[in-house]
């Protein structure tokens, strides 16, 4: 009996710790993220970056589109106008967003396609507000990369790292299982907490399964169908214990996935990380397509295919290094 109470008390303590930790995070998440309201500069920049990226990504789509992303453009203009009204200092993300709007108009003009009148006036209005010389830089939001063969593999690390981009266009060429074996083995050099190696790799080559998976995902429109393979990265919950380790799984799988991107790039394989920002419903649907065991938490999906000789990439401007560093 005493033993029963001891075990029950222990279990209860674990559950309470877990709930407290999650509650602590959820409270801070609601307080600081842009989930409920967008008021401070960082929240604005986050929302603006996300809108800008959807549009700059649209500019790189293999089958060029026109008059796309109307809601995104309107949303971006509203955010930029508000940012301007609040007199926040423009940064790299603001420049990139203004450029993406200019680029949007430019591409339509270049191809003799009319931009929706309402949209055009909204864009011009937002651009006009920021038209003080230094702000709008003449930088492109996307550019065409030429695949330089396996040169990548012998480049100094900094060049190699900067030559990797999320690529949303792939050659129609099969990546065989031997190549995948080598790539995944290289990715296994990633560190993991206590060497627990929780990451599991679900490689999907079957066309019908790929299509079904992409149909429940919201970030692959316009390019997902071109991928030769889809990789689902999950973490095995079984190897962790206690409330304090609950987030380690995401760090472990995250580190593995970055290594996997490099391993693919090294092997001439282009890739794009695809968010798995899931709902319970989405998670259940995914597990019906691929029998991912319940002890595994799906963290991220990656689309992959061999590089084409020439492909467009989104510039994805980076913040200044000084802006992300703190010294103590």
The residues binding ligand FMN (CB under 6 A) are 53, 57, 165-166, 168, 219, 272-275, 300, 316
Nearest to 237 by CA among 229, 224, 247, 222: 247
Contacts 24+ apart (CB under 8 A), 74-77: 74/119, 74/122, 75/51, 76/48, 76/51, 76/52, 76/100, 76/101, 76/126, 77/101, 77/122, 77/123, 77/125, 77/126
The distance of closest approach from Cβ of residue 252 to ligand FMN in the complex, given in angstroms and rounded to an integer, is 14
Task: Please identify, using beta-carbon distances, which residue of 126 and 141 lies nearer to ligand FMN.
Answer: 141
Annotate 167-229 with DSSP letters as a single string: -----S-PPPHHHHHHHHHHHTTS--GGG---EEEEEE--HHHHHHHHHT-SS-TTTGGG-SE
Q: Which is nearer to ligand FMN, 165 or 312 (CB)?
A: 165
Nearer to ligand FMN, 274 or 286 (CB): 274
Q: Which SS3 state, helix, strand or coil, does residue 281 take?
A: helix
Residue 96, phi then psi, degrees to nearest 5 = -60, -40
Provide, rounded to whole angstroms, the least separation between the CB of residue 225 and ligand FMN: 13
> Please, how many CA atoms are within 13 Å of residue 108, restricted to the half-sphere of its CB?
15
b (16+ CB within 10 A) / e for 44-58:
bbebbbebbbbbbbb
* Shortest Cβ 303–ligand FMN spacing (Å): 8
Q: Around Cβ 130, how many Cβ atoms within 10 Å?
A: 18
Output the smallest distance, CB 247 to ligand FMN, in A: 15
For residues 300 and 213, what is the distance between their CA atoms, to the nearest angstrom? 12
115 vs 233, which CB is nearer to ligand FMN? 233
Query: Minimal distance in Å, beta carbon 121 to ligand FMN?
Result: 29
CA pair distance 292, 200, nearest whole angstrom = 10
Using Cβ positions, the residue closest to ligand FMN within the complex turns out to be: 219
Nearer of residues 115 and 230 to ligand FMN, judged by Cβ: 230
CB of 214 to ligand FMN, least distance (A): 11
Q: Which is nearer to ligand FMN, 83 or 311 (CB)?
A: 311
Minimum distance, C-beta of residue 297 to ligand FMN, in the bound complex (Å):
14
- Cα distances from 152 to residues 147, 164, 260, 266, 319, in angstroms, run 9, 9, 15, 6, 24
The residue among 100 and 274 lying less far from ligand FMN, judged by its C-beta, is 274
**Considering the complex, what minimum distance in angstroms separates the CB of residue 167 from ligand FMN?**
8
C-alpha torsion angle, residues 51, 52, 55, 57 (rounded to 10): -110
- Which CB sits closer to ligand FMN, 96 or 98? 96
């Amino acid at each position: 009996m005493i033993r029963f109470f001891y075990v029950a008390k222990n279990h209860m303590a674990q559950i309470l710790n877990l709930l407290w930790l999650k509650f602590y995070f959820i409270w801070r998440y609601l307080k600081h993220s842009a989930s409920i309201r967008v008021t401070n500069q960082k929240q604005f920049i986050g929302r603006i970056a996300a809108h800008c990226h959807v549009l700059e990504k649209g500019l790189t789509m293999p089958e060029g589109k026109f008059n796309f992303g109307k809601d995104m453009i309107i949303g971006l203009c509203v955010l930029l106008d508000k940012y301007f009204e609040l007199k926040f200092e423009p940064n790299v993300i603001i420049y990139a967003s203004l450029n993406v709007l200019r680029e949007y108009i430019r591409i339509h003009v270049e191809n003799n396609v009319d931009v929706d009148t309402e949209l055009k006036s909204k864009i011009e209005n937002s651009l006009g507000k920021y038209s003080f010389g230094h702000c709008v830089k003449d930088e492109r939001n996307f550019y065409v990369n030429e695949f330089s063969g396996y040169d990548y593999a012998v480049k100094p690390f900094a060049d190699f790292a900067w030559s990797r981009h999320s690529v949303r266009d792939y050659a129609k060429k099969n990546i065989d299982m031997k190549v995948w074996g080598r790539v995944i083995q290289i990715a296994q050099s990633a560190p993991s907490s206590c060497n627990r190696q929780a990451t599991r790799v679900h490689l999907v080559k079957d066309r019908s399964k790929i299509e079904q998976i992409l149909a429940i995902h919201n970030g692959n429109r316009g390019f997902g169908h071109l991928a030769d393979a889809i990789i689902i990265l999950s973490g095995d919950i079984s190897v962790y214990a206690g409330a304090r380790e609950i987030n380690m799984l995401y760090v472990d799988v995250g580190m593995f996935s970055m290594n996997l991107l490099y391993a693919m790039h090294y092997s001439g394989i282009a890739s794009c990380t695809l968010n798995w920002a899931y709902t319970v419903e989405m998670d259940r649907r995914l597990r019906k397509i691929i029998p991912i065991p319940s002890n595994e938490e799906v963290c991220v999906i990656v689309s992959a295919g061999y590089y084409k000789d020439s492909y467009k990439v989104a510039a994805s401007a980076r913040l200044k290094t000084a802006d992300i560093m703190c010294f103590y």
